[in-house]
């Protein structure tokens, strides 16, 4: 609130000097500010004057503060608003108390629920900004409240409707590993999309990975529908990993937008790495750097050589049926495998193979899988985590880039180059 303050007259001045000062102070009257015609915030300013007809006494009534007013980044009543829009609200002549942006959605079963857009106020509480984009074909309501410098409250609402999108204009993301899981030290974060992403950089800008303890890592685009994240070296055992994909409404290019946001958090377990030497047909399992088991194996025979390289355990299966037709082999077989660990998309497994017992540790005689005794396969099955590395050496056949989770067969510099940022 503004107050007029009189300046005291210094002792010792002459009467003439005092009269002179008074004469100077009385030159003209206090002008009225008049009404505000700017149209900002729909408010006007008013002023008061007194002492017309030559009186020079200023008004003792202070000017009333203007009420707080609000402005929104999306116009009230707007239609076909892009789902990639980030809503913001600003306050003039005061501060914001709260902002709520919400819509009502209907599920496939017909039930309705209210969905609220997350956001936050800036430090001086004059601007609220959403932290996520919008859903298609939805009517949103913005509810704003705030106060001016004297605490006088105001509130306002605005509504708008977003553009409608077909399923072909939306890409549905999924993330792996799942929330709350414990995985091996080689496990990458895997994000997949059901509609191709053209603007990879914009999508990647909305992906975040945090780790405790902190470790250097990067995203790497495997294809237009799949992006992975891994650290520079294997994860440290016990690492906590959190992933946030704030993708709802984010432009993926070509008129396609993210259909939803995704998030997950998981833990890295103990280190367990299986090293398989196919020149000697022996595997050694190392846990936290110490050898804990030696396993004699038999792998792919000539023409069906097992791939050398770093492969990750992708799934754990029991009573797995394996036939020659599954891999296009001429030699007929139809087998039931008690314990199997998948390590490629093309059908390589670490598995129990009692029918090949005579070859373990001696000769490679399979159609590409690495076989072992049932006892060893059961032990490996029970002690393994999804994402545990298997390092195979001793053959001239290498791993293909997209045949399973082959992230660790790529140098760090090449892996970083696969980022869109």
* Cα–Cα distances in angstroms (integers) from residue 33 to residues 97, 153, 211, in the given order: 30, 25, 58
Residue carrying structure tokens 């399992």: 285
Looking at 214, 248, 269, the residue that finishes a domain is 269
Residue 351 among the catalytic residues: yes
In this structure, are 156 and 98 located in the same domain? yes
| Domain annotation covers residue 414 | no
In this structure, are 325 and 347 located in the same domain? yes
C-alpha atoms less than 13 angstroms from C-alpha of 56 in its C-beta half-sphere:
7
pLDDT of residue 39: 35
Catalytic annotation, pick one of 206, 220, 228, 369: 369
Q: Is the pLDDT of residue 159 over 90?
A: yes
- Which residues, other chains included, contact 383 with Cβ-Cβ below 8 Å and sequence gap of 6+? 272, 285, 287
pLDDT of residue 163: 97
CATH code for position 202: 2.60.40.3710
pLDDT of residue 58: 55
Task: Tell whether pTM > 0.85.
Answer: no
pLDDT of residue 330: 76
pLDDT of residue 107: 75
Helix intervals (H) in 271-319:
none
Furthest-apart CA pair in the chain: how many Å? 126
- Per-residue pLDDT band for 53 (boundaries 50, 70, 90) equals very low
CATH code for position 366: 2.40.440.10
Torsion of CA 20, 21, 24, 26, to 10 degrees: -110
| Domain annotation covers residue 48 | no
Residue carrying structure tokens 């998948």: 342
CATH code for position 129: 2.60.40.3780
Least confident of 30-44, 197-211, 256-270, 390-404: 30-44
In this structure, are 306 and 246 located in the same domain? no
Looking at 219, 254, 269, the residue that finishes a domain is 269
- Which residues, other chains included, contact 269 with Cβ-Cβ below 8 Å and sequence gap of 6+? 182, 183, 184, 185, 237, 238, 385
In this structure, are 157 and 178 located in the same domain? no
Over residues 178-206, the pLDDT tens digits come to: 999 999 999 999 999 999 999 999 999 99
| Domain annotation covers residue 11 | no
Number of domains in the chain: 3
314-321 long-range contacts (CB < 8 A, ≥24 apart) are: 314/342, 314/343, 314/344, 314/345, 314/386, 314/404, 314/405, 315/341, 315/342, 315/386, 316/340, 316/341, 316/342, 316/381, 316/384, 316/386, 317/341, 317/342, 318/381, 320/349, 320/351
Distance (Å, whole) CA 164 – CA 83 = 9
In this structure, are 225 and 277 located in the same domain? no
In this structure, are 262 and 296 located in the same domain? no
CB 194 within 8 A of CB 152: no
In this structure, are 265 and 363 located in the same domain? no
- Per-residue pLDDT band for 323 (boundaries 50, 70, 90) equals confident
CB 36 within 8 A of CB 64: no
Residue carrying structure tokens 């946001």: 261
Over residues 63-116, the pLDDT tens digits come to: 888 999 999 999 999 999 999 999 999 999 999 999 999 999 877 777 888 999
In this structure, are 140 and 249 located in the same domain? no
In this structure, are 108 and 230 located in the same domain? no
Distance (Å, whole) CA 72 – CA 87 = 7
Q: Is the pLDDT of residue 345 over 80?
A: yes
Distance (Å, whole) CA 414 – CA 186 = 17
Strand order in the sheet with 240-245: 182-183, 262-268, 240-245, 207-212
In this structure, are 126 and 186 located in the same domain? no
In this structure, are 281 and 397 located in the same domain? yes
Over residues 237-254, the pLDDT tens digits come to: 999 999 999 999 999 999
pLDDT of residue 54: 46
In this structure, are 223 and 289 located in the same domain? no
Catalytic annotation, pick one of 206, 220, 228, 351: 351
Q: Is the pLDDT of residue 335 over 60?
A: yes
Host domain of residue 224: 168-269
Least confident of 22-36, 307-321, 342-356, 404-418: 22-36
Looking at 162, 192, 209, the residue that finishes a domain is 162
| Domain annotation covers residue 261 | yes
Average pLDDT over all residues of the chain: 87
């Amino acid at each position: 609130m503004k107050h007029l303050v009189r300046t005291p007259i210094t002792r010792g001045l002459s009467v003439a000097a005092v009269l002179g000062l008074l004469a100077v102070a009385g030159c003209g009257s206090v002008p009225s500010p008049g009404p505000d015609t700017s149209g900002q915030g729909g408010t006007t300013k008013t002023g008061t004057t007194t002492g017309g007809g030559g009186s020079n006494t200023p008004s003792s009534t202070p000017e009333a503060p203007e009420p707080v007013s609000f402005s929104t980044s999306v116009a009230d009543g707007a239609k076909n608003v892009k789902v990639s829009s980030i809503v913001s609200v600003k306050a003039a002549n005061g501060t914001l108390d709260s902002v709520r942006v919400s819509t009502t959605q209907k599920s496939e079963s017909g039930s309705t629920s209210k969905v609220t857009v997350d956001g936050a106020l800036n430090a001086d509480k004059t601007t609220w900004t959403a932290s996520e984009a919008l859903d298609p074909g939805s009517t949103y309501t913005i509810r704003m409240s705030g106060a001016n410098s004297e605490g006088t409250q105001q509130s306002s609402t605005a509504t708008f409707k977003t553009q409608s999108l077909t399923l072909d204009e939306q890409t549905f993301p999924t993330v792996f590993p799942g929330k709350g899981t414990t995985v091996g030290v080689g496990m990458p974060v895997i994000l997949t999309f059901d509609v191709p992403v053209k603007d990879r950089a914009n999508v990647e800008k909305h992906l975040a990975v945090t780790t405790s303890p902190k470790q250097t890592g990067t995203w790497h685009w495997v294809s237009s529908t799949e992006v992975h994240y891994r650290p520079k070296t294997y994860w440290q055992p016990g690492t906590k990993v959190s992933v946030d994909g704030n993708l709802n409404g984010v432009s993926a290019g070509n008129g396609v937008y993210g259909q939803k946001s995704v998030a997950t958090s998981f833990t890295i377990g103990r280190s367990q790495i299986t090293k398989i030497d196919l020149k000697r047909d022996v595997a050694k399992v190392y846990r936290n750097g110490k050898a804990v088991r030696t396993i004699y194996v038999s792998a792919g025979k000539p023409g069906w050589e097992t791939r050398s390289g770093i492969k990750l355990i992708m799934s754990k299966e029991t009573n797995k049926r394996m036939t020659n037709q599954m891999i296009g082999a001429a030699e007929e077989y139809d087998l039931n495998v008690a314990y199997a660990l998948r390590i490629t998309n093309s059908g390589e497994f670490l598995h129990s193979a009692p029918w090949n017992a005579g070859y373990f540790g001696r000769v490679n005689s399979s159609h590409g899988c690495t076989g072992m005794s049932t006892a060893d396969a059961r032990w490996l099955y029970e002690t393994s985590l999804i994402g545990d590395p298997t390092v195979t050496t001793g053959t001239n056949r290498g791993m293909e880039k997209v045949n399973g989770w082959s992230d660790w067969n790529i140098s760090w510099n090449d892996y970083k180059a696969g980022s869109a940022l």
